[in-house]
Every structure is written in C-alpha cells, then in structure tokens.
Structure 1
Amino acid sequence: MHILKLAVFAFPVTLVAACGQVGSTPKPLTEKQTAVLMNELSGKVAGTPVNCISDFNATNTIRVSDDILLYRVSGRLVYQNKLRSACSGLARDNDIIVSEQFGSQKCKGDIIRLVDRTSGMTGGVCSLGDFVPYRLKKTAD
C-alpha cells in the first residue's frame, strides 16, 4: 500500500520535472529560426492570446525553435505558441510530435511529447502555452 502511495505521488512530480523549469530563459533564436518566424508573421498583427484552438485549425504545425511552435490556419491567420519551457530537440524536426489533449482542442497546459521516428523512444516532454493569433493587416481600399 505504501508503494502505491509513493507511485501516485512520484508520477506528477516526475511529469513536472520532465517539463523543465516553467519560465526558464529560452535560447536566442538563430538566424534561420528568426527568418522562419519573420516569414510566417510578416504583415500580420498580434491579437489577444487565447487558451485553446480547434484541432481543425492546428493541422499545419511549424517548428521554429525548441520553445516556439506556429500553427498556420491560412495565409491570413497563424497562431504562435510559446511553450511553457523549452522542449529539447523540437527544432530539429526529426521527431514526431504526439499531443496529449482532452477533446478536440489544443489548449494551454496540454502536454506534447517528442517520439523518435525510428526507435519509438520518447524524447522531450513539454507543455503548451498561450496561443497568440497573428492576422493579416486589413488594408484600406
């Protein structure tokens, strides 16, 4: 019985430790990462952050760095997600992103895991942050 209590306590602690330190200072973006970010967000204006986006809108995922994901909905709308902590290996784009979510939305706090394509071993484990919508500026006619 004592072992069961320890296991129930240890799992959440292990999960939090695997997510890394929330609010840790991210590494500066490389020139290539900055170019990807600028290319996707150029001409768009940031809106009010939201907690969740529909899975339907989250099909085109762009890895910018180990702590920034973009979800391109269309040429007019892109959501930027700054992970709550860096997810080691995310930027390499070698691993499969597996989302652990409830329902048909990706939400702040949902867990993502990186899984090696060849071995199936789990790599980085991270938590999603706010989704900031970037919309194309409306032009005056």
Structure 2
Amino acid sequence: MHMLKFTALALPLMLVAACGQVDSTPKPLTEKQSAVLMKELNGKVAGTPVNCISDFNATNTIRVSDNILLYRVSGRLLYQNNLRSACSGLARDDDIIVSEQFGGQKCKGDIIRLVDRTSGMTGGVCSLGEFVPYRSEKTTD
C-alpha cells in the first residue's frame, strides 16, 4: 500500500524532472531590435521600477523582442517591461496581445497571451515583469 502511494507521488515528480529546466535567459537583441529600443529610449532617463502601471495611460504597446515590451504613455514617458521569460513570437508582431489582468492596471505577474489573428489559436503565454519608467529630462531654456 505504501509502495503504491510512493509511486503515485513519485511519478509526477519524475515527469517534471525529465522535462528539464526552462531557459529564461533572454536572447541577445538583434541589430534591428537594438535600434528600436535605442530610438524609443533616446534622451530618456530610467527611474525606479514599479510593479503596476495604469492601463488607461499605457495604450501604445511597442514590441521590441520576445522579452521586452515598451508601453508609451506620452512623448515624455514610457515604461520598459522585461518579461519574466521569453514569449515566443512576440517580436514578430503578427499576433494580438491579450492581457489577463485584474482592474485597470497592468501589474508584474499579469499574464499575456498571443492569439493568432486569423485562426484565434493561442500561441505564447508570458508573465509581465517590473515596469521601468523612462522619462525625458526637462530642458531649462
């Protein structure tokens, strides 16, 4: 009886171990992705990361890579989000991003899914990281 319980508990653990670890190391940015990121962050200074941003203000989403999203709030402010792990296909900009969030904020840990525009099938599923604000420095003229 004890052997049966042990087997019932050990089998799922062995299956998980056999899958190996997921590599969450971000791939280096391509030249094009680096250019997009540099263009968007040009002249802006990073601030202290925050866990949530208002969904109402962050409507313009820029896909930099499978690991990086930018949320433009205004010409002076945008937030960079480094996803917790790669979201395969995000950089292609072919799929619709569907957010699973609670309330009017995007928060660290919220889930985003990629949905094919034609078939409606779900693709990559990812989790948001912290939001790093980038603001333009005020000029003193």
The TM-score range, normalised by the shorter chain, is 0.7 to 0.9
Supply the distance in 2 between the matched residues of 1:44 and 1:58 (Cα, whole angstroms).
Answer: 17
Show the counterpart of 1:80: 80
Q: Does 1:69 align with 2:69?
A: yes
Show the counterpart of 2:93: 93
Supply the distance in 2 between the matched residues of 1:98 and 1:76 (Cα, whole angstroms).
Answer: 26
Show the counterpart of 1:36: 36
What do the CA deviations read for 1:67-119 (whole angstroms, capped 9, x no partner)? 00000011100100000000000000000000000001000000000000001
Supply the distance in 1 between the matched residues of 2:98 and 2:58 (Cα, whole angstroms).
Answer: 13
Show the counterpart of 2:60: 60
Supply the distance in 2 between the matched residues of 1:35 and 1:55 (Cα, whole angstroms).
Answer: 26
Q: Does 1:118 align with 2:118?
A: yes
Matched-pair identity in % = 86
TM-score after normalising by structure 1: 0.83
The residue type equivalent to 1:52 in the other structure is C
Supply the distance in 1 between the matched residues of 2:109 and 2:60 (Cα, whole angstroms).
Answer: 20
Supply the distance in 1 between the matched residues of 2:42 and 2:22 (Cα, whole angstroms).
Answer: 31
Supply the distance in 1 between the matched residues of 2:44 and 2:116 (Cα, whole angstroms).
Answer: 34
Show the counterpart of 2:107: 107
Superposition RMSD on alpha carbons, in Å? 1.9
- Runs of 4+ aligned structure 1 residues displaced above 3 Å come to none
The number of residues matched between the two structures is 124
The residue type equivalent to 2:50 in the other structure is V
Supply the distance in 2 between the matched residues of 1:128 and 1:45 (Cα, whole angstroms).
Answer: 21
Q: 1:97 to 1:38 in 2, by over 3 A?
A: same
3-state DSSP of counterpart to 2:85: coil
Could you list the runs of 5+ residues in structure 2 that have no partner in the other structure?
1-11, 13-18
The residue type equivalent to 1:34 in the other structure is S
TM-score after normalising by structure 2: 0.83
3-state DSSP of counterpart to 2:25: coil
3-state DSSP of counterpart to 2:79: strand
Show the counterpart of 2:6: none
Supply the distance in 1 between the matched residues of 2:66 and 2:135 (Cα, whole angstroms).
Answer: 23
